[in-house]
Amino acid sequence: MSDAMVAASASEATSGGTTQQVDVAVVGAGFAGLYLLHRLRRAGFTTVTLEEADDVGGTWYWNRYPGARCDIQTIDYTYTFDPELESGWKWSEKYATQPEILRYLGFVADRYDLRRDIRFRTKVTAATWSQAVERWMLKTDNGPAVSCRYYIMATGCLSAPKPPEIDGVKDFKGEIYFTGRWPHEEVKLAGKRIAVIGTGSSGIQSIPLIAEQAAHLTVFQRTPNFALPAHNGPAPVDRVTLLENDRVSYREQARMSLAGVPWPQQMAVSWQLSDAERRERFEKAWAAGDLVYILTQLWADQAVDVDGNALLAELFREKIRATVKDPETAEALIPYDHPFGAKRPCLDTNYYATYNRPNVTLVNLRQEPIKSITASGINTETRAFDADVIVFATGFDAMTGAIMAVHPITGRGGKSLSDVWANGPQTYLGLTVAGFPNLFMITGPGSPSVLSNMAVSIEQHVDWVVDRLIAMREAGFTTIEATEMAQAGWARHMADCSMLTLHRLANTWYTGANVPGKAQGVMPYTGGVGPYRSICNEVVGRGMLGFKLTGPNVAEQCNDGEIVRLQPDVRLVLNMLADLKLPPLESFGSQGLRDFVAQFNASRPAGRPVGEVLDGTLPGPDGPLPYRLYRPATPGPHPIVVYFHGGGWVLGDEQADEPFCRDMSRRTGMIFVSVGYRHAPEHRFPAAAEDAYAATRWIADHAGELGGQPGPVLVAGWSAGGNVAAVACQLAQDRGGPQIAGQLLVCPVTDCRFDRSSYNDNAAGYFLTRSLMYWFWDLYCSPADRTDPRVSPLRGKLTGLPPAFVVTCEFDPLRDEGIAYAEALAAAGVPVEQLQARGHFHSSFTMVDVVITGVSGRVQMAQALRRFAGLPPERKQGDEGVRPDRTAAPREISVAAG
Ligand code: NA7
């Protein structure tokens, strides 16, 4: 019998007061629950929605405090699934108030006749998976229990208010209100002494309005927040015009954007802009009064780099100082403890100016924490404040609270979700949990959720889930469950994504830090709405990768695996390259490929400022060789690193790896001299190797003239440059100098054998292909010469070589020969450290400011070079300490007897 038939026959039983049988049960009748119900019904599933409140609205039903408003522009915070619905409703303001949003949700419920399948005033008190019947059994506190095939939590991310965690609340004799559970009847605040605890969005929205009514308002602030003036009013004409001119593409761009609002990706990085340009951009954002705009549109590094962010945060602080008249109060209101955007910034109307009112006092709990609440008010450690009313704007047990704290959820084998999540939420795609078949979460932890325009994320989740249920029904499957492997892979991907942005640097409800004892970690997906959507689609495209599907009359299907193994930004870069649909690069010919690469490099970020960049030439074995020198801004003389660029012995020049050289010069505090060695096919083997050796020797001999420290130099190189760097070290040893203090080899070519597995595993799809490598080899070196250590240094004499730091990338044909070289050096008694970079590709570390997750690797490279040069380990660049990528720590190879 189909689920629908079971339900039809069971509806009689329901009216008899027994269990209600449905295909799908949904908890919550908010934004997500309503759309879910609509889609499920349209798809022919019998459905019941269980809702604790007595009407629809979810968040917008409960959060009725004064000033409650949406803080995404309402033209974006709206359903988009039905064009007729869109044209049937007109928002009155740029940011709608809570009553208007609630009216809208009521309008939606009426339009699709949704209320008839919603059981209001009904709380689910327990949900248990029955393996025997493959159904979820729900207990409720009102009316019949429910048996459903699928159970979907549309409970919202911020719906479980957090207890106040302050002693003495029960002793207070006055009125108490929670912003998240504001009464439906009018609350009379006029003429009263009011205390507000909390300065998150709810506090910041309500404080100005409460202040207007109160005899006196005392605000108890633990953490100051960044708040941007909303400049509310009619929806901005430019945005409305953009939408109305092409609604379909506007909505589509929103779906593929990072935050769910169609703003473009900013390209200019902060250090490319002058102070005046940055200020102009900031003022424009301030005037626009749009959180997504100010969070994404100032400069490309504002959300990913501590320095780029600090510039913005400081401009913000100036505004607070300029608005708040009392300097001490202004200082207390200024956030210093988190980067802008790492904690949810707020949108306000007159928030900071409210502190200029004579009837408002700010209490800085960082200086005088609350000791207790008494019968008459609030005592801090130094003062007592009398109050008639206390408003708790203290927030929510975010993301997991809304799912876990609602009721016990017991999955397969009696597993409790609370236990499974004891150390933090574990999910696959933020949608499902291994061990909990047929359970879905809408905008759960592990999905973009609260870091996005919720309306866009909700529609994507609902569509994905309902489409899967339809596909399962068509294929005869009745259960779906994420696999452990897929879930573990998603946790890794989440951790990788969390290194992209600065959210991990603040103690917030995003990380669970607002609830005492809660497990810590960034809970929302920080990789962006568009990338997330494409991953969900890819899961489907790859045969429901990471899910086990079963059904009574069909063979079990389990296509196990990890959906994203690449670092998130590497995935984006590779997708972008794939979209270019380039022919095999070798088909360009050597000059054609040089031109292509030069053009490609012209569009990349320029590289960060260094003290000085100098061009010169040095004598090579067969004529002058150009070099470019990057000097740090710190006082010299500095140690010198002789650097060799990548390009398969065929491409590139002394400027080709400019962003890498600049970055490494800044991080190491060393001079980098990048050498333009001769290229094939014009100059074949051993031209590049001999040039590299000659350049190293000359630079070592002229270190003083170059402003460097006399004494040993260091060498470094990437790819073919890593090859010639390794060879230069061997030649220096064979030929009696110069002295080399250490070698940094990044994805080096070390051998002419092509049968190591990385050559096959990564033969195509990761930009540097196997066939391109074959072509490079053919242009540079005849087969007869290939075993010569001057091109295959793995075959050279390794004993006594300088200490090495060898970097290899997981998705690189050259991976295994790099590892082999590190191991061979170690076996020969050379001190070696090795960084095997997970999820990275051949160009990860040289695509500075594009592959953000490459930072931690370069930090480690810089530290190694400093160790080799005998310098103290740390030169603070700002991002070292804050990007600890524990998964990518270098391993020291045990030194075997040479
Ligand atoms: P938030 O943003 O979590 O804000 C809660 C505020 O309450 C925040 O300032 C907290 O300080 C403060 N708080 C919480 N507990 C205490 C105690 N015990 N003592 C003093 N202060 C406390 O919740 P909101 O309701 O304002 O906003 C939630 C989201 O809704 C918002 O971000 C939007 O997405 C919409 P803390 O920062 O933890 O030091």
pLDDT tens, residue by residue, 75-108: 999 999 999 999 999 999 999 999 999 999 999 9
CB within 8 Å of 692: residues ≥ 6 apart: 644, 675, 677, 717, 724, 725, 727, 728
pLDDT single digits (tens) 564-608 = 999 999 999 999 999 999 999 999 999 999 999 999 888 887 789
Atom of ligand 1 at shortest range from CA of 222: 39
Residue 650: per-residue pLDDT: 98
Beta strands in 753-827 (DSSP E): 804-811
CA distance 548 to 396: 34
Residue nearest to atom 27 of ligand 1 (CA): 201
Residue nearest to atom 16 of ligand 1 (CA): 394
Question: Nearest to residue 401, comparing CAs of 161, 126, 63, 60?
Answer: 161
Atom of ligand 1 at shortest range from CA of 392: 7
**165 CB under 6 A from ligand 1?**
yes
Number of H helices, E strands in the chain: 27, 30
Residue 401: per-residue pLDDT: 84
> Residue 17 Cα, ligand 1 centroid: separation in angstroms?
42
Tokens of 688: 């590049």
pLDDT single digits (tens) 455-500 = 999 999 999 999 999 999 999 999 999 999 999 999 999 999 999 9
Encode 344-404 in three state secondary structure. CCEEECCHHHHCCCCCEEEEECCCCCEEEECCCEEEECCCEEECCEEEECCCECCCCHHHH
Residue 137: per-residue pLDDT: 98
Give the position of tokens 């699934």.
Answer: 81
Give the number of other Cβ atoms within 10 Å of residue 184's Cβ.
Answer: 10
Give the number of other Cβ atoms within 10 Å of residue 174's Cβ.
Answer: 17
Sign of CA dihedral 415, 420, 425, 429: negative
Tokens of 329: 């109060």
Burial class (CB in 10 A: 0-12, 13-18, 19+), 700: buried
Atom of ligand 1 at shortest range from CA of 223: 39
> Residue 36 Cα, ligand 1 centroid: separation in angstroms?
29
> Residue 161 Cα, ligand 1 centroid: separation in angstroms?
10
Residue 892: per-residue pLDDT: 53
Residue 9: per-residue pLDDT: 37
Those residues of the chain that have pLDDT short of 70 are 1-17, 405, 874-898
Alpha-carbon distances of 260 from 301, 456, 531, 538, 786, rounded to whole Å:
19, 6, 11, 19, 53
SS3 content of the chain, % helix, strand, coil (to 5): 35, 20, 45
> Residue 205 Cα, ligand 1 centroid: separation in angstroms?
12
**514 CB under 6 A from ligand 1?**
yes
Residue 53: per-residue pLDDT: 96
CB within 8 Å of 522: residues ≥ 6 apart: 494, 498, 503, 504, 510, 511
Residue 392: per-residue pLDDT: 97
**743 CB under 6 A from ligand 1?**
no
Give the position of tokens 């060393």.
Answer: 670
> Residue 221 Cα, ligand 1 centroid: separation in angstroms?
9
Residue 894: per-residue pLDDT: 39
Is-contact 230 208, C-beta < 8 A?
no
Atom of ligand 1 at shortest range from CA of 166: 18
C-alpha Rg value of the chain to the nearest Å? 31
Q: What angle do CA 797, 802, 808 make, to 5 degrees?
A: 85
> Residue 828 Cα, ligand 1 centroid: separation in angstroms?
58
Name the β-bridge partners of 227: 346
Is-contact 687 677, C-beta < 8 A?
yes
CA distance 871 to 716: 17
Residue nearest to atom 38 of ligand 1 (CA): 514
Atom of ligand 1 at shortest range from CA of 204: 26
**166 CB under 6 A from ligand 1?**
yes
**202 CB under 6 A from ligand 1?**
yes
> Residue 182 Cα, ligand 1 centroid: separation in angstroms?
16
CA distance 323 to 340: 19
> Residue 507 Cα, ligand 1 centroid: separation in angstroms?
11
CB within 8 Å of 395: residues ≥ 6 apart: 158, 161, 162, 180, 198, 200, 202, 509, 514
Residue 884: per-residue pLDDT: 35
Residue nearest to atom 3 of ligand 1 (CA): 395
